[in-house]
Structure 1
Amino acid sequence: MKLFEGLFINNFEKVKFQDYAVFVRGLTYKKSEETQDLDGTPIIRADNILLNNSNLDLSNMKLINKNVNIPDNKKASKDDILMCISSGSKTHVGKIAYVNEDLNIPFGGFIAAIRTKSKLLNNKYLYYVLNSNIFKDHLSFSLNSTTINNINSHIINTLSFPLPPLELQNKIVEILDKFTEYSAELKAELKARDEQYRFYRDKLLSNNNLSNDINFFSKKLSEIAEINIGKQPSKEDISENGLYPYMNGGINKSSNAKNFNNIKNTIIVSQGGSNAGYVQWMYEDFYQGSHCYSLKVTSKQILNRFLFFYLKSNQDKIFNLVQGSGIPGLKKTSLSSLTVLIPSIRTQEKIVKVLDNFESICKDLNIGLPAEEAKRQQQYEYYRDAIFKYLETGIIDNKGIGERERERESGLIKIIEFIFNKTIYLIAKLSNCAQMSSGQFIKAQDRSEEFIYPFYNGGRNNSGYHNEYNREGENILISIRGVNAGATNYINDKFWLGNSCVSIQTNKEFDPLFIYFYLTNNINSLLISKDDGAIPAISMTDIRNIDIPIIPLHKQKEISTKIKSFYEFVNDLKLGLPKLIQLTQIQYEYYRDGIFKFLENKSNNTVK
């Protein structure tokens, strides 16, 4: 709680809700005034207030006849706090959402708008009070004395809460808003991860990719799997305390069952209802209801897990098989006729390996990111409630919540290469792979053999020494003008770079030695040498636009290590070709001289 210690100096008075805010019930309308006409007026209902994150979801609103009279005070305005005041479930009573903009949309009778009437109260501060244990405890005590899950004006008006100065309210709101924003970022990242996974999965299982396998073929679903419908359970079979999920056509379980009638690692498809056609994998034993298909692979030519991924990748096709204007339904004959593209078992195994690993990451994110989100929510709630606890009691709770980092996944290219054993390169401009900068001019008198830092200004060797350095670490050098224009060099040290050179420092995804060897092999094509005797030069723009192949970092290092080893071998007098040439020359001279000496001796013997 050190985060807040500086904010709290004095205890603060408690005030009554009714003295600082008003409670406005929503619009009451008749069932007959609801309409399907798109020209109708949308209305915010209790269902539009999300329970878990106190946000408004306006994607599914009912419509009422446009001739219904709607008072202005029953329309949601900026800085309103909307509260569910009546529900069949106690957990939903009291849930709230903050309105960040002028919606000008009416809210229904099961909702109330809470608005401040005093300039001494920050709307958002009141919102956080209503989200805290102060209000939850007050509401719990009030509702325990009645069997009706309803917040009336008496319950809300008798709420008391601490009211610090407005400046302090603003600081509290600013801090708690940060946690809310971070939670939203986590949800956005979870959504992005899920979209990334779906993108990779669908690309991997597209016809174009699967046809890369020369052994692929197609079959009807009924030719490779048995499709079975579930069983309607009895009342005795279903229990909220049951150990097994009861799956009956929805995305989520319908309830729990005491026993199971199907086993884990089974593919199921919703048969009827709004989610008809939805495919999912069961990770545990379950009770299969009468609106749920299960698939059992009967062919040795396809893996059960691969079939699941293929069906999920073709989810939209399965949805398109659903029929019915009333209650939608998926016929068994329609599902049976679905065509499945089947590659070799080896390719299936690779695809499953990739997607299972990726799915485990996404699954971890569904456990991990929401766990992260839950931690942030927990941290946010801790700070929020601790603030208000301190405002009430002056006691500071010093228990905090830890944090962790996450790493991102690699891209589609590596996955495709892994599965189909193909080398696929993307191309990027050098300017997107590295930072480039020109050197600086120094006078001749500023160079001396007595200084310690090499001075590079073109060519592969240094042009003297300087008493200062303007580069350090791994740098690739390119001479851009003069007789040595196009000469490249690799330096991993401190040195001074002259104005006839540029230095290149690669991003972390690229190996500097690999880029150096690649540029050495390709730089001469950029050299401009004019017939009129002008000084040869290389344009910085051309250097920035050099195409660089994007290959995995470990591959780059493997290539650069081999080239470096060969380069050292060739240029090392002890190990390389110069030494071999020297030894060969000695051997040649020995045999040459020996031959002539032999001939000479032979000749002398003959003369004798």
Structure 2
Amino acid sequence: MNYLEKLLKGVEIEWKTLGDEDFAEIANSGRRPVKASERISGNIPYYGANNIQDYVDGFTHDGTYVLIAEDGTASIENYSIQWATGKFWANNHVHVLRGIGPLNSRFLHHYLRSVNFIPFLSGGDRAKLTKGKLVEIPIPIPPPSVQKKIVRILDAFTELTAELTAELTARKKQYNYYREQLYCFDKNVVQHLPMGDESIGVFQRGKRFVKDDITSNGVPCIHYGEMYTHYGTWADKTKSFISEELVKRKNLRIAEKGEVVIVAAGETIVDIGIGTAWLGNEGVVIHDACFSYKSQLNPKFVAYFTHTKQFHDQIKKHISSGKISSINAKGLGKVLIPIPSLEEQERIVSILDKFDTLTASISEGLPKEIELRKKQYEYYRNMLLTFPIG
């Protein structure tokens, strides 16, 4: 705050609204939605409420603009604000505007990311920011020199975050490539067996419980929906618990240490089949939309295998589709898995563990670094953009 006070010492802050045409231009008239089936492929970004949805031929705008979601923002609390430069196509789910005169567009972009949009929204479940409400949003107008200094500071943080994000994307591609390569074995050299072959493994389906059964303590449990959002390739503690009394009364299924929990149902076929090696010291209750897989193989070796294209290409033909897609133990059991020596399994797991930490860990690696930089940006943005009113 000392820096902000020095920056603003003797400076008057004007407050205007986005509807003031001397300070902001709303360029919504050029927007045009186009169905995906009717878009002509090209290299011009096609913007929706939250991100670039496609690349098309042609454009609706050319210049430097701030895009504000009109409806369909992914988060009401963290409202969607995008930055677009050069030629781009805007559909009707974003407001298109820019600063004019003394209002720096980049300053406007940073400031809008700090605004609480909730009081300006209408429409219930699908919150909408109408143009009538957009023009009421107040905007501070410090001197252009002050705006430039603030932009320079905040851009430094966003550029660093962008660099880290690009690095993470590159490492994920590298990770996916090596994971596929590490599971490619010559079938004449390394034996491949069906996962359901009793000589290597056994599947056991979980038993049904509902989200209302979940508590904050008790016996560790994994609900199938958490497999997509919370668990990676291995875990030794759970997000959820269930009462011991319910476990006994319903005779719920428990996966023991060293077993792999595999999800067997999901809204799309992409969701199905991912596995998490359970390494906790006590057993974990599993939902009936999951299987536990007990085998003589390294559990992490199996879990990483369930994330490969090789695995998913094999299970596709065994998935039954409907409102919810699913697979049974018979279908999973037909998947051929390579069986190298235990030493080779450990070597592969060791390599993939390093990649997994780098690309997925929220306590280590690039995701943690990106999250820290985002928080740092938010801290300084809020500090630098909190102006006195009146």
TM-score (norm 2): 0.71
Where does residue 114 of structure 1 map in the other structure? 97
The one-letter amino acid paired with 1:14 is E
1:306 and 2:301 are equivalent in the alignment: yes
Aligned match for 2:153, one of 155, 165, 175: 175
Question: For 1:368 and 1:153, how far apart are their aligned partners in 2?
Answer: 42
Where does residue 227 of structure 1 map in the other structure? 203
Aligned match for 1:58, one of 53, 57, 62: 53
In structure 2, relative to structure 1, the CA distance for the partners of 1:78 and 1:367 (3 Å cut) is farther
In structure 2, relative to structure 1, the CA distance for the partners of 1:350 and 1:92 (3 Å cut) is same
* 1:340-376 deviation per Cα after TM superposition (whole angstroms, max 9, x unaligned): 2222333334443454455445454664422221221
Q: Which of the two has greater strand per residue?
A: 2
Pairwise mapping of residues 364-379 of structure 1 onto structure 2 (< 5 A)?
Answer: 364=361, 367-379=364-376
Aligned match for 2:274, one of 279, 301, 305: 279
Where does residue 322 of structure 1 map in the other structure? 316
Among the aligned pairs, what percent are the same residue?
23
What SS does structure 2 have at the residue aligned with 1:335?
helix
Where does residue 440 of structure 1 map in the other structure? none
Query: Contact 1:277–1:322 at 8 Å: present in 2 too?
Result: no
1:125 and 2:99 are equivalent in the alignment: no
Structure having the higher Rg: 1
Question: For 1:326 and 1:147, how far apart are their aligned partners in 2?
Answer: 29
* 1:138-164 deviation per Cα after TM superposition (whole angstroms, max 9, x unaligned): x344559x9983323443323323212
Aligned match for 2:388, one of 388, 392, 398: 392
Instruction: State the Cα distance separating 1:194 from its structure 2 match.
Output: 3.2
Instruction: State the Cα distance separating 1:229 from its structure 2 match.
Output: 4.5
The one-letter amino acid paired with 2:135 is N
Question: For 1:79 and 1:241, how far apart are their aligned partners in 2?
Answer: 52
Instruction: State the Cα distance separating 1:102 from its structure 2 match.
Output: 1.2
What SS does structure 2 have at the residue aligned with 1:251?
helix
Moved more, 179-188 or 314-323: 314-323
Cα RMSD of the aligned pairs, angstroms, is: 4.5
Where does residue 245 of structure 2 map in the other structure? none
The one-letter amino acid paired with 1:374 is E
Where does residue 137 of structure 2 map in the other structure? 159
Question: For 1:45 and 1:343, how far apart are their aligned partners in 2?
Answer: 47
Instruction: State the Cα distance separating 1:10 from its structure 2 match.
Output: 2.5
1:252 and 2:250 are equivalent in the alignment: no
In structure 2, relative to structure 1, the CA distance for the partners of 1:92 and 1:244 (3 Å cut) is farther
What SS does structure 1 have at the residue aligned with 2:86?
coil
Question: For 2:208 and 2:149, how far apart are their aligned partners in 1?
Answer: 57
1:84 and 2:69 are equivalent in the alignment: yes
Question: For 2:125 and 2:341, how far apart are their aligned partners in 1?
Answer: 63
1:96 and 2:81 are equivalent in the alignment: yes
Instruction: State the Cα distance separating 1:58 from its structure 2 match.
Output: 2.4
Query: Contact 2:269–2:316 at 8 Å: present in 1 too?
Result: no
* 1:261-289 deviation per Cα after TM superposition (whole angstroms, max 9, x unaligned): 55475241444524154423155746435
In structure 2, relative to structure 1, the CA distance for the partners of 1:360 and 1:99 (3 Å cut) is closer
* 1:478-527 deviation per Cα after TM superposition (whole angstroms, max 9, x unaligned): xxxxxxxxxxxxxxxxxxxxxxxxxxxxxxxxxxxxxxxxxxxxxxxxxx
What SS does structure 2 have at the residue aligned with 1:173?
helix
What SS does structure 2 have at the residue aligned with 1:275?
helix
1:346 and 2:323 are equivalent in the alignment: no
Question: For 2:154 and 2:195, how far apart are their aligned partners in 1?
Answer: 53
Query: Contact 2:104–2:147 at 8 Å: present in 1 too?
Result: yes
Query: Contact 2:62–2:87 at 8 Å: present in 1 too?
Result: yes
Query: Contact 2:214–2:240 at 8 Å: present in 1 too?
Result: yes
Pairwise mapping of residues 541-552 of structure 1 onto structure 2 (< 5 A)?
Answer: none
Query: Contact 1:267–1:282 at 8 Å: present in 2 too?
Result: yes
Question: For 2:73 and 2:272, how far apart are their aligned partners in 1?
Answer: 31
In structure 2, relative to structure 1, the CA distance for the partners of 1:345 and 1:90 (3 Å cut) is closer
Query: Contact 2:67–2:97 at 8 Å: present in 1 too?
Result: yes
- Count of residues in Structure 1 that have an aligned counterpart in Structure 2: 355
What SS does structure 1 have at the residue aligned with 2:345?
helix
In structure 2, relative to structure 1, the CA distance for the partners of 1:94 and 1:331 (3 Å cut) is same
Aligned match for 2:171, one of 189, 193, 205: 193
In structure 2, relative to structure 1, the CA distance for the partners of 1:107 and 1:366 (3 Å cut) is farther
Question: For 2:343 and 2:383, how far apart are their aligned partners in 1?
Answer: 57
Query: Contact 2:172–2:359 at 8 Å: present in 1 too?
Result: yes
* 1:394-435 deviation per Cα after TM superposition (whole angstroms, max 9, x unaligned): 9xxxxxxxxxxxxxxxxxxxxxxxxxxxxxxxxxxxxxxxxx
Instruction: State the Cα distance separating 1:124 from its structure 2 match.
Output: 0.9
Where does residue 293 of structure 2 map in the other structure? 296
Query: Contact 1:85–1:94 at 8 Å: present in 2 too?
Result: no
Instruction: State the Cα distance separating 1:183 from its structure 2 match.
Output: 0.3
Query: Contact 1:257–1:287 at 8 Å: present in 2 too?
Result: no
Instruction: State the Cα distance separating 1:231 from its structure 2 match.
Output: 5.0
Where does residue 507 of structure 1 map in the other structure? none
